[in-house]
């Protein structure tokens, strides 16, 4: 009797939509609210004031189901810390996350263990992120076993995954990480992330350390896997070409804050923040007849320890006015756009900035 | 053509230590005074080995080197003792990928630069110090006077690389070897360093060999590009020619697999497979196992290098030929 009831209940669910999909198609898969992480800096014994590195300072965004969010920025802008906070590899100081309608690790919400099974991560250093004393098939099967899968089934699935990512199981399954090339190791990392059948994968500079010819192979594989498994990606990279290629939505970070976010074509064709403009024009030209003549930005990113008030980019910005130094700009919609937001006084009519549209 | 500043002939380098590898196989090229050559290739293609051999940085006991290197009329492979010391720094100088590792952490930038100057020229500390300061200002380090007294770890990555460039140029070398100088840097800092290198090269008229795996960076600074694969130069030519009309299938693959804005929504043209093991190279062309146009001949015989003017190519089936056929 009981089995019959579950059966009749199950059938329409599997045909109509994925039972995992709790919030429905309109609910963003992940909503992040005001995420913050400040690392204390070890000062001298007599240091009166405690200093903090503002690694992530109030980051909020949402990722729609089946889309790819690209996060770009210079080193030290907080993109990797953001990824680690989302994956809960470290606890945020404040802020909350909602995964498909359920609050993460809060009362009445989703347990952390459940959350981690739904969200997996691929790291930049393919060697450091694999256990050197485990064969790759063991590495892939290890996670599901911890989560209660039978060893035999986990092994079979691991071998299937290996062949899916292009590594022949008979030839590769019993190898150790040092016996593989960088590209192959990164494929193992991807297979390991997929072993949980996650719904979201965070790719933290996952192709940055690979050679160009291998990088293209891995990017193609990621695109195929995304379509097959209905995955949602958060793709972190400093390579603007790669982000352009793979993303639907792009978020630009500077010193722990989001300065601009919008659909990929908007960001690449009509960036509204001077920093995004500078990043885009810092890409080397591929045409020997039109070499870059001027560097778009001078200097290095400033120190993230106790940043001054006002816009954090104002020291390096060519459009800086007094208002930039005194008031911190907030994210506001770009005029005439519905999804493109930017944190810049030039975009805000009422900010007191006098040369509106100077950048255009 | 005047006498070239650098001339490499059939340079072959093998490592014979615990890990054996044929790192370089008959590499030949010439570099004129004031010319910038971009050495392009993936990891393990032998580009860094070429530079290190030019500086004689490999341990002699475990390296066997064949062929010849001439730099500014000197036989580099025959240099010994103080002649070698004079060559390093004064004739040829090197900028490393990781400036954080290349500087000595327990001496200030100023002390290290003064030491470099005084090792080559008999000047007093004060003069050497002034020259170091001028050089730091020349590479656009803000507050140069203060930076001279800083330790390497007190500088940011971009600033450290500027200091590294300043130090390598302080003895006015004729040849600058830059080993991936911008790879560890952010895009916004990378472009600053590339522009600086180009400017300094124009000003001093030195020759530069610029090693990179980033085609964009090579296009920004180089006059000529040599593409390396598995320890060989497979194609060499003018920048525009290599980028626009690559003839070697590997160069073509490399260009096609570099992600561009126009690739959005398409499947990338990837080169299948991975680079060969240098300890155990295939018999014929090293690229044959990954090449879609390989024939029986490619798998058996190593292709000869065909020179036409300034450019060279080693391939049995260059791309233009099979395009004509199809």
The rounded distance, in Å, linking the Cα atoms of A124 and A241 is 17
Q: Which of A259-263, A278-282, A284-288, A337-341 has the highest mean pLDDT?
A: A259-263
| Dihedral sign computed on CA atoms, order B284, B290, B296, B298 | negative
Q: What is the reported pLDDT for A153?
A: 95
CB contact under 8 A, B219 and A297: no
Q: What is the reported pLDDT for A48?
A: 67
Q: What are phi and psi of A234, to 5 degrees?
A: -115, 115
- Nearest 5°: the CA angle A132, A135, A140 is 100
Give burial (CB, 10 Å; 0-12/13-18/19+) of A219.
buried
Q: How confident is the model at residue A6 (pLDDT cuts 50, 70, 90)?
A: very low
Q: What is the reported pLDDT for B98?
A: 84
Cβ-Cβ contacts under 8 Å, A250 against chain B = none
What's the longest Cα–Cα distance across chain B? Answer: 69
Q: What is the reported pLDDT for B307?
A: 83
H helices present in chain B, as ranges: 47-54, 81-86, 99-102, 109-120, 125-138, 144-148, 157-169, 187-204, 215-221, 239-244, 249-257, 296-300, 319-325
The rounded distance, in Å, linking the Cα atoms of B61 and B17 is 8
Where chain B has pLDDT below 50, the residues are 321-326
| Dihedral sign computed on CA atoms, order B127, B129, B133, B135 | positive
- Best mutation target among A208, A284, A301 (most B Cβ atoms within 10 Å) is A284
The rounded distance, in Å, linking the Cα atoms of B154 and B147 is 9
Q: What is the reported pLDDT for B2?
A: 66
Which chain A residue has the Cα nearest residue B242? A288
Q: What is the reported pLDDT for A14?
A: 42
Structural domains in chain B, sorted by start: 6-325 (3.40.50.300)
Element (H, E) at A180: none
Residue B316 contacts residue B297 (beta carbons within 8 Å): yes
Q: Nearest by CB to A282, which of B158, B191, B258?
A: B191
Q: Is the pLDDT of residue A8 over 80?
A: no
Whether ipTM tops 0.90, in short, is: no
CATH number of A28-39+53-252: 3.40.50.300
Residues β-bridged to residue B66? B12
Q: What is the reported pLDDT for A287?
A: 83
CB contact under 8 A, B191 and A211: no
DSSP result, B46-115: SHHHHHHHHTT-S-GGGEEEEEEEEETTEEGGG--HHHHHHIIIIIEEEE-S-HHHHS-TTS-HHHHHHH
Q: What is the reported pLDDT for A10?
A: 45
Q: Is the pLDDT of residue A12 over 50?
A: no
Q: Is the pLDDT of residue A1 over 60?
A: no
DSSP result, A213-272: HHHHHHHHHHHHHHHHHT-EEEEE-S-HHHHHHH-SEEEEEETTEEEEEEEHHHHHHS--
Q: Is the pLDDT of residue A3 over 50?
A: no
Q: Nearest by CB to B268, which of A184, A219, A300?
A: A219
The rounded distance, in Å, linking the Cα atoms of B244 and B319 is 12
Residue-wise pLDDT for A190-234, tens only, equals 999 999 999 999 999 888 888 888 889 999 999 999 999 999 999
CB contact under 8 A, B42 and A287: no
Residue B243 contacts residue B258 (beta carbons within 8 Å): no
């Amino acid at each position: 009797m009981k089995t019959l009831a579950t059966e009749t209940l199950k059938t329409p669910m599997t045909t109509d939509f994925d039972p995992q999909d709790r919030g429905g198609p309109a609910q963003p898969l992940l909503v992040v609210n005001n995420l913050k992480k400040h690392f204390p800096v070890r000062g001298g014994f007599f240091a009166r004031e405690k200093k903090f590195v503002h690694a992530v300072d109030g980051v909020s965004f949402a990722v729609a189901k089946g889309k790819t969010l690209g996060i770009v920025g210079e080193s030290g802008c907080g993109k990797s810390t953001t990824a680690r906070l989302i994956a809960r590899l470290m606890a945020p100081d404040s802020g909350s996350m909602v995964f498909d309608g359920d609050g993460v690790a809060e009362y009445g919400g989703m347990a952390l263990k459940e959350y981690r099974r739904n969200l997996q991560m691929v790291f930049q250093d393919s060697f450091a992120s694999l256990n050197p004393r485990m064969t790759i098939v063991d590495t892939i099967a290890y996670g599901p076993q911890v989560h209660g899968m039978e060893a035999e089934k986990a092994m079979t699935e691991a071998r299937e995954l290996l062949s899916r990512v292009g590594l022949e199981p008979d030839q590769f399954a019993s190898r150790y990480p040092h016996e593989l090339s960088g590209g192959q190791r990164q494929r193992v990392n991807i297979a390991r992330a997929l072993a949980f059948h996650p719904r979201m994968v965070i790719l933290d500079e996952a192709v940055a350390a690979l050679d160009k010819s291998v990088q293209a192979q891995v990017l193609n594989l990621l695109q195929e896997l995304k379509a097959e498994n209905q995955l949602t990606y958060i793709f972190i990279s400093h390579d603007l070409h790669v982000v352009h290629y793979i993303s639907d939505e792009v978020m630009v970070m500077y010193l722990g804050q989001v300065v601009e976010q919008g659909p990929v074509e908007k960001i690449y064709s009509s960036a509204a923040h001077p920093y995004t403009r500078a990043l885009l024009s810092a890409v080397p030209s591929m045409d020997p007849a039109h070499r870059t003549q001027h560097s778009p930005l001078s200097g290095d990113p400033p120190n993230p320890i106790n940043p001054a008030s006002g816009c954090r980019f104002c020291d390096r910005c060519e459009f800086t006015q007094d208002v930039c130094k005194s008031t911190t700009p907030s994210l506001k919609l770009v005029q005439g756009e519905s999804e493109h937001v930017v944190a810049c006084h030039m975009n805000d009519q009422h900010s007191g900035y006098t040369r509106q549209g100077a950048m255009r | 053509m005047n006498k070239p500043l650098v001339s490499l002939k059939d340079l072959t380098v093998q490592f014979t230590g615990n890990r054996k590898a044929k790192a370089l196989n008959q590499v030949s090229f010439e570099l004129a005074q004031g010319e910038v050559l971009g050495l392009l290739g993936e990891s393990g293609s032998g580009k860094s080995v070429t530079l290190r051999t030019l500086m004689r940085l490999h341990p002699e006991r475990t390296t066997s080197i064949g062929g010849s290197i001439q730099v500014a009329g000197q036989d580099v492979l025959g240099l010994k003792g103080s002649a070698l010391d004079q060559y390093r720094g004064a004739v040829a100088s090197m900028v490393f990928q990781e400036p954080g590792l290349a500087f000595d952490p327990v001496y200030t930038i100023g002390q290290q630069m003064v030491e470099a100057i005084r090792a080559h020229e008999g000047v007093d500390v004060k003069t050497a110090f002034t020259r170091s300061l001028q050089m730091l200002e020349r590479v656009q380090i803000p507050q140069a006077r203060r930076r001279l007294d800083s330790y390497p770890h007190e500088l940011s990555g971009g600033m450290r690389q500027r200091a590294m460039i300043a130090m390598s140029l302080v003895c006015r070398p004729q040849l600058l070897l830059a080993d991936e100088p911008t790879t560890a840097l952010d895009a916004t800092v990378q472009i600053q360093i590339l522009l600086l290198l180009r400017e300094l090269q124009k000003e001093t008229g030195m020759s530069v060999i610029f090693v990179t795996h980033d085609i964009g960076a090579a296009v920004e600074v180089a006059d000529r590009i040599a593409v390396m694969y598995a320890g060989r130069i497979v194609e060499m030519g003018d920048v525009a020619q290599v980028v626009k009309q690559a003839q070697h299938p590997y160069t073509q693959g490399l260009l096609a697999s570099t992600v561009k804005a126009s690739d959005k929504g398409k499947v990338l043209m990837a080169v299948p497979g991975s680079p060969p093991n240098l300890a155990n190279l295939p018999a014929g062309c090293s690229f044959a196992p990954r090449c879609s146009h390989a024939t029986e001949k490619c798998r058996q015989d190593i292709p000869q290098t065909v020179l036409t003017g300034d450019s060279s190519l080693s391939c049995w089936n260059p791309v233009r030929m099979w395009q004509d056929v199809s």
